[in-house]
Amino acid sequence: MAGRIKTSFHARVLVALLAMCGVLVGTFIVFQYMREKQFKTEMLNAQLQIYNNGILDNLESGESIYSIVARTDKPVDGLRMTLVDADGNVVYDNNDSTPFPAANHNNRPEVMKAREEGVGYVVERWSESDETDYFYSATLGDDGMVMRSAVPYDHSLKTVLSADVTFLWIMLAITAVVCIVGYFVTRNISKSITRLNNFAEKAERGERIFDDDAFPHDELGSIASHIVRLYVQRDRQHKELVRQEREKIAMKKRLTDNINHELKTPAASILVCADLLRDHPELPEAKRMEFMDRIHSNARRLSLLLNDVSTLTRMDEGAEEITKEPVDLSQLVKDVVDDERVRTTMEITIDVPPLKIEGNRQLLESIFRNLIGNAIAYSGGTKIEVRADSDGNFVVKDDGTGIPEVHLEHIFERFYRIDKGRSREAGGTGLGLAIVKNAVAMHGGDIKAVNDHGLRFDFKLKT
């Protein structure tokens, strides 16, 4: 690979998930904190506004501010009260420890807001008169007087106005739970991604891949396992196709070599006989006829060999190259047997029920001609039996000597001969049983040979 990933997918996803969770929880905490603080501030302001309104109502009835303050309970300890007239002058202040305020108070934020909206408050503002932070709450009266209450903004008030830390701990606990769950969820996702990544690296390097690795039982794991299984299946299919192609190439090479070998003998014999006839015209007629018979016999052998090679080549090209049509098997077997009876003294019996098959007539004929022909040429017996059942299971059997067990598994190989000299004398090409095997396979069946008081071939044709 060009560059290996340094940080694992699991770590990156987990960090991203935790970051999003942190931002979400942090935002919610800040929002809730500000909301709770605002609520407590407004509650305190409402309490002070009630107190301010009470004093203003009593003032309007003509009672003195001093007597009102003296008999009225303060809602908060340490409460500082200031009465401001319409011109901004302080007409009353209960803070005896500092000089009486002389500055114009209409420029104070809480007073300005009260004159604009009727009420106003400031959470924390520095007082120049006594150099203390206060929470100010101001209320406008009907006569333009403003009653202002101020609570020292000390530690106790800060505590009252602060948000409940219990909520913060609950949110932190929820965050921890989310992180733990997120870790296990992302770990399962990461397993699938990591294994897919390892699979891709192995595939790139051409290493062998197995499909027995377990993936997590989730959608991603299912997809990942399907991908790996599909690749493994395709890889096996590809290797099988490559193997088959190599076998086909090797088979064609062996076939070519065997054909060259098989052609040499009849070709050489034809050439020698032709040369003798050409160079010795004085040969007796009987000798000339002998050479002519040899030429004819070897030419016929060449013709049979080329026909068999052509048939095998067509079958090697595939079933799609073979045309098929409805064939009456019982009639086909009868026609083949009638032809073979002419050239043998062996008794041939038929027991084939009416059977019809979708197949290639020429290849089907070659099955029975080769099997019956082999029995006639090589069995040494006196009887040949051809029988079948209604499911297309066929038996072709002779009562001859059979063949040695060591040869049984090889007799369907191309150019395989048990007795090479005897086979050539009988005019065989060594391709007959190979043609039979391929022809049976192209009609949906298989064939085997066994010794059964002679040689018996069992095969099935798909009906």
- Mapping DSSP onto H, E and C, the string for 297-361 reads HHHHHHHHHHHHHHHHHHHHCCHHHCCCEEEEHHHHHHHHHHHHHCCCCCEEEEECCCCEEEECH
Whether the predicted pLDDT of 46 surpasses 50: yes
**How far separated are the first and last CA of the chain, in Å rounded?**
56
C-alpha torsion 283→284→289→295, nearest 10: -20
Give the pLDDT of residue 255.
59
Lowest mean pLDDT segment, chosen from 65-79, 258-272, 342-356, 444-458: 258-272
Lowest mean pLDDT segment, chosen from 76-90, 231-245, 328-342, 350-364: 231-245
Whether the predicted pLDDT of 177 surpasses 50: yes
Task: Dig out the tokens for 53 from the structure.
Answer: 């309104």
Lowest mean pLDDT segment, chosen from 227-231, 389-393, 408-412: 227-231
Name the most confidently modeled range: 11-25, 309-323, 389-403: 389-403
**Which of 411, 414, 407, 448 lies closest to 431 in space, CA to CA?**
414
Mean pLDDT, rounded, of the chain = 79
Give the pLDDT of residue 385.
94
Whether the predicted pLDDT of 458 surpasses 60: yes
Comparing 132 with 9, the larger pLDDT belongs to 132
Over residues 145-159, mean pLDDT: 75
Three-point CA angle 257, 263, 269, nearest 5° = 145
Spatial distance between the Cα atoms of 391 and 164, rounded to a whole number of angstroms:
88
Whether the predicted pLDDT of 422 surpasses 60: no
Give the pLDDT of residue 369.
87
Q: How does pLDDT run across 265-317, given as a tens digit for each residue?
A: 678 888 888 888 888 888 888 888 888 888 887 787 777 667 766 766 666 66
Cβ proximity of 326 and 360 under 8 Å: no
Contacts 24+ apart (CB under 8 A), 220-226: 220/189, 220/192, 220/193, 221/188, 221/191, 221/192, 223/192, 224/192, 224/193, 224/195, 224/196
Give the pLDDT of residue 427.
47
- With 0-12 / 13-18 / 19 or more C-beta atoms within 10 angstroms meaning exposed / middle / buried, residue 424 is middle
Whether the predicted pLDDT of 120 surpasses 50: yes
Residues shown for the chain: 463
Lowest mean pLDDT segment, chosen from 169-183, 191-205, 317-331, 448-462: 191-205
Lowest mean pLDDT segment, chosen from 113-127, 259-273, 280-294, 348-362: 259-273
Lowest mean pLDDT segment, chosen from 214-228, 230-244, 374-388, 417-431: 417-431
Spatial distance between the Cα atoms of 362 and 376, rounded to a whole number of angstroms:
20
Contacts 24+ apart (CB under 8 A), 207-215: 209/235, 215/191
Rounded to 5 degrees, φ, ψ at 63 are -75, 150
Say if pTM beats, i.e. exceeds, 0.85.
no
CA atoms within 13 A on the CB side of 380: 7
Give the pLDDT of residue 339.
87
Q: How does pLDDT run across 433-442, given as a tens digit for each residue?
A: 888 888 888 8
Q: How confident is the model at residue 426 (pLDDT cuts 50, 70, 90)?
A: very low
